Chain A
């Protein structure tokens, strides 16, 4: 299909007073039935719809979104994209995602502002540096780029960073993935939405799923705030709301807890940092947006929550971690903070699978790493829905792995969701 957005179309529309732009997606009413219903109009649901249509030719698809498109975690994350994992299952999956990111703006004909500015994990003890060397080697084994950096190299890369020996936690080195970076999160949702819509997918906003239609065990559709909709296949991609939606289907327990993660942005500054940096002695990560604001966050609050807002102890902790690394930011004002609900799984890895009921497909357990996974999550979930079996990339991410002793615990924290 011809590129809808190009220098030519920009010029042509400008000459006509910009009156002929089409909305990026239609606002259709739901039909009585579809081949596939995807519950959840976030990044993963929209990407799934896009790849179902593009890779598998399945276009009779509806994406049902309770609120407005992209109102959940796809618009609430801190936009980092990386594939620096230790375990092969994670590395392969996230590297596939990275490769999709690298071509995404062209693929979607939508500028997602993917910027491979690198992601640097700081080490503060020799043991931690050894651990990073191990992880870097594991990554390179699987063809992912990784390099160790010395404090002097790090200082050249990030002049504002305190690497002095009397810093609260002196920096002894770091692990850098140069191909990592950031992307504009809203554009990812909108780009996938438009790509899916133009291929015939119905994106239905303000349509809350209130229950499942069943034929015995089999799921044959959903009841919604806009009427009943039947489908041969019903896919669930609702992140933090997984527990609530699965309960509607009669699934009482899941290997998931919902937790709130906060994020922050400062007032706009001149160029300050041109990479993503993470603190090794706590949980803190920061990058600078193109608008100039520093975008940063830390740990989840640490207790079950569906509230999309957190409490002050984490705000305090994140700010002190920021100042331990960048004392010079002490008088910069924080502009906004917000929260998103994360589906924390019991091993820190996702679930992308058929089932657990016949006619149902499940995508969840993203903890707080869902944004970077968006392209691969959609790509593998679409494959799983279309072929009724997982692709090699998502075959390890089953729901029953917890009961079968096949957990994928990258951080080695055990069944303790608040620590992943």
Chain B
């Protein structure tokens, strides 16, 4: 399995660390909605087909990547930096507060 890192190019899967399901949405850290926290921690879509997942290029540029991979064929259809949605949104929030 090769993953094409947007920064480093195509690299063997051995350079990457699987960070799991990318569909889950983490509740606001201040949230006391236990059902939402339980769902975030324990419940998975686990699709047979295209799966949104997070990989880290831990043996390379260390970027976190948002990968769409087919769980039936292992074929990868898209790879993008996670930064750009999550990280920059958090930064914007911090700037708003400041």
Give A residues with C-beta under 8 Å from B. 241, 243-244, 252-258, 302-307, 311, 313, 346, 402-403, 415-416, 418
Residue of A nearest to B49 (CB): A306
Chain A residues, CB < 8 A from B84: none
**Contacts A307-B74, A418-B18: A254 and B46 contacting too (C-beta < 8 A)?**
yes
Residue of B nearest to A402 (CB): B42
Q: How far is the CA of A346 from the CA of B21 in the complex (A)?
A: 13
Q: How far is the CA of A416 from the CA of B74 in the complex (A)?
A: 21
Chain A residues, CB < 8 A from B39: 253
Q: How far in angstroms is the closest Cβ of chain A from B22?
A: 11
Chain B residues, CB < 8 A from A255: 42-44
Chain A residues, CB < 8 A from B44: 243, 253-257
Q: Is B78's beta carbon under 8 Å from chain A?
A: no
Q: How far is the CA of A253 from the CA of B47 in the complex (A)?
A: 9
Chain B residues, CB < 8 A from A302: 18
| A403 lies within 8 A of B35 (CB) | yes
| A415 lies within 8 A of B73 (CB) | no
| B72 lies within 8 A of A253 (CB) | no
Chain A residues, CB < 8 A from B89: none
Q: How far in angstroms is the closest Cβ of chain A from B39?
A: 7
Q: How far is the CA of A253 from the CA of B53 in the complex (A)?
A: 16
**Contacts A403-B35, A418-B20: A307 and B46 contacting too (C-beta < 8 A)?**
no
| A306 lies within 8 A of B18 (CB) | no
Q: Is B8's beta carbon under 8 Å from chain A?
A: no
Chain A residues, CB < 8 A from B45: 243, 252-253
Known: A253-B39, A302-B18, A403-B35; 12 extra A-B contacts, CB below 8 A, are: A243-B44, A253-B44, A255-B43, A258-B46, A304-B53, A304-B71, A305-B71, A305-B74, A307-B71, A307-B74, A313-B12, A416-B20
Q: Is B87's beta carbon under 8 Å from chain A?
A: no
Q: Is B30's beta carbon under 8 Å from chain A?
A: no
Q: How far is the CA of A307 from the CA of B72 in the complex (A)?
A: 5
| A306 lies within 8 A of B71 (CB) | yes
| B38 lies within 8 A of A403 (CB) | yes
Q: How far is the CA of A416 from the CA of B12 in the complex (A)?
A: 23
**Contacts A255-B42, A313-B14, A402-B42: A303 and B73 contacting too (C-beta < 8 A)?**
no
Residue of B nearest to A400 (CB): B38
Residues of chain B from 32 to 57 with CB closer than 8 A to chain A in the complex: 35, 38-39, 41-48, 51, 53
Chain B residues, CB < 8 A from A415: 41-42
Q: How far in angstroms is the closest Cβ of chain A from B28?
A: 19
Chain B residues, CB < 8 A from A418: 18, 20
Q: Is B1's beta carbon under 8 Å from chain A?
A: yes
Q: Which residue from B13, B35, B41, B51 sits with its C-beta under 8 Å from A304?
A: B51
Q: How far is the CA of A89 from the CA of B62 in the complex (A)?
A: 40
Q: How far in angstroms is the closest Cβ of chain B from A168?
A: 20
Q: How far in angstroms is the closest Cβ of chain A from B46?
A: 4
One digit per residue, 1 when the CB lies within 8 angstroms of any chain A CB and 0 when it does not, for chain B 51-90 equals: 1010000000000000001011110000000000000000
Query: What would 23 A/B residue contacts be, using CB atoms closer than 8 Å?
Result: A241-B48, A243-B48, A244-B48, A252-B45, A253-B43, A257-B20, A257-B46, A258-B48, A258-B71, A304-B51, A304-B69, A305-B71, A305-B74, A306-B48, A306-B71, A307-B71, A311-B1, A313-B12, A346-B41, A346-B42, A402-B38, A403-B38, A416-B20
